[in-house]
Amino acid sequence: MANDLIRAVVGAAFQFAKTMPQNPHEYTLRKNWLSGKQFEEVVQYIRDNGVKENFGGRNYIYFYYAGYKYWSMGAPLSQTILINRAKCKAKIDV
């Protein structure tokens, strides 16, 4: 199951976050996923298997995979609307 969730997020359609050029990253929206259930499963997988790091004075859970880090904003699962990703320097695979 974990491999299916990783494949789902890696293969998701991401778009560049134009409003934050100082922090280049992309995002995928829940509403664009075929399955809201799968979106929530991916978010939960990121939260369960990621690492806590501080950014801008807040803690986020980042999941590193194949040269990218993935994270959500920490809202309750049912209210989470996006998953972010950004390229990272270190490649860490799970």
Taking 90 as the threshold, does the pLDDT of residue 21 lie above it?
Answer: no
CB crowding 59-94: b at 16 or more within 10 Å, else e: ebbbbbbeebbbbbeeeeeeebebbbbeeeeeeeee
Residue in this structure with the two tokens 């369960």, named with its chain if needed: 48
26-62: pLDDT as tens digits: 999 999 999 999 999 999 999 999 999 999 899 999 9
Mean of pLDDT values over 10-39: 93
Whether pLDDT at 23 is above 60: yes
pLDDT at residue 25 in the model: 95
Structure pTM?
0.88
Predicted pLDDT of residue 22: 85
In terms of Cα–Cα distance, which of 79, 67, 72 is closest to 42?
A: 72
